[in-house]
Amino acid sequence: MIQAVAVSLLAVAGFILALWWTNIAGIARGIVGASMAGVAALFDNQLSDDAKEVAARRAGGQLILGGLNLAGRIVAALAAAGLPILLADLVGLVPGSAVLDVMLRLDYIVIVSILAFATVKIVNRLRRTDAAAESSGPQYSPVDQFVHNLAFSGPGVQKMAARAEARLIPRPPMPDVSQPIFVTSLARGGTTAVLNALHDAPEVATHTYRDMPFVTAPALWDKLAGGQRRGVRRRQRAHGDGMKIDLESAEAFEEVIWKMFWPERYKEASIPLWQARDTNEKADRFLRNHMSSIIRARNLQAGPQSVEKTRYCSKNNANIARIPYLLKSYPDCRIVVPVRRPESHAESLLRQHNNFSKLQTQDSFVSRYMADIGHFEFGNLHKPFRFSGFEPTQMDTHTSDYWLQYWTCAFRDLLEYKDRCIFLLQDDLRASPQVTMNRLCDDLSLLSSGQSFEQYFHSKPDRAVSENFTTAHLRDALAIYRELEECAH
């Protein structure tokens, strides 16, 4: 009996080692990835019909080869398991039939399965390093990519998701929306830090990564995706700026709705500004309902014991191009504009432009993801807004002067609405975050509830090398900045 058990354990060990040595898990993941890639291509609205056909054929070929590869490795693993049994039988140690009888016993199967599972868990935990747990940038599995491509296969999908949520989750009823908060500026201006600080105010509701990819149906999607059981390890975001994110982190997904109702504005190399006369009542109604949906979803997730969330807050850098529209369509809104020193802001934009140009070249899904959520701030997808006096074709986007000119034209236009916007200087947020944010919360009628705001903002002075810019361009930018300083919060 003891010899039969020993030989059976050798057979199990041989089977497991053969599976590990032949990397059968990697082959299986490759097969799943190939199938998902083929199906996802059919829902990719950025591919032509010919490109979809090519992708489907390629995926089919990979599935056939992967299946044959997988079958061969399973045969090899079975051979490795049978070898100890055969040798023990040949040398007369124990009959092969006796070993098989032991291995087919229910108690044996249960005990060995538990031990094997525990061993795998322990080995994986020992192999997991802190670096792997906090790896930078998002990592999208084939399944993630498939679901994303399905959600963004056309604007009708997101609209249908919103209608489905309204019908399937009727309670609690949609809350009223008053005084929505729009945080906006050029990218890299400090909007994410301000959003994170406001996100933690007890009555504020924002988008979070948990809402992706069905951003128009946050409550319904959260239930379908597993609710609080769904999670990801906290990791550094793709910007490489040290900011860590997880599913509960606030993020900017509101632009998806603007793209749904104004798709023609995103088809050219640059994007025209929204004026008050461009009002679209259907879009306004959809966005206001969406604000209610976000508030309701965050209250459902927080639970009945939490402070009720009543104020919608978004970070959308693209809103800098539609200030007059927002003021007309949502007259009770509050617009918060973080302002960074022009030379530092331009240098940061250039670094991220180069960073995302590289990322989008290396990974096509990064491009697809950014395009779908309307992030055209930098990288290969960069589509500048047509601010007054800005001529994007006259300068190279990989130069500091391009981004400095962009900054100058953007904030020159914004000064026209200085009486309707709340300007926050990045220098003040770094030097005295508590005083600056407490004052902002008062202006927004928010309860700061004793929050400590130092954690959200860098404390080092924000400076860049001025020699990287043309003197005349920098002089114009600094003149605009001084005007902003005078009306800043």
Per-residue confidence in pLDDT tens, the chain, 489 aa: 788 888 888 888 888 888 888 888 777 767 766 666 666 666 666 666 677 677 777 777 877 888 888 888 889 989 998 998 898 888 888 898 988 888 888 888 888 888 877 776 676 665 554 444 444 444 566 677 778 878 888 888 899 999 999 999 888 888 899 999 999 999 999 999 999 999 988 999 999 999 999 999 999 998 888 777 665 555 665 565 555 656 788 888 999 999 999 999 999 999 999 999 998 999 999 999 999 999 999 999 888 778 899 999 999 999 999 999 999 999 999 999 999 999 999 999 999 999 999 999 988 888 888 999 999 999 999 999 999 999 988 899 999 999 999 999 999 999 999 999 999 999 999 999 999 999 999 999 998 667 889 999 998 888 888 888 999 999 999 999 999 999 986
> Hey, how many other C-beta atoms are within 10 angstroms of the C-beta on 165?
22
| CA dihedral of residues 414, 420, 425, 428 (deg, nearest 10) | 170
Report H helices in 104-250.
106-127, 130-133, 142-151, 155-168, 191-199, 218-224
Read off the pTM: 0.74
Backbone angles phi, psi at 30, to 5 degrees: -65, -40
DSSP lists the bridge partners of residue 245 as 235
Apex 292 CA angle, 287 and 297, nearest 5 = 120
Identify residue 39 by its one-letter amino acid code. V
| CA dihedral of residues 101, 107, 110, 114 (deg, nearest 10) | -110
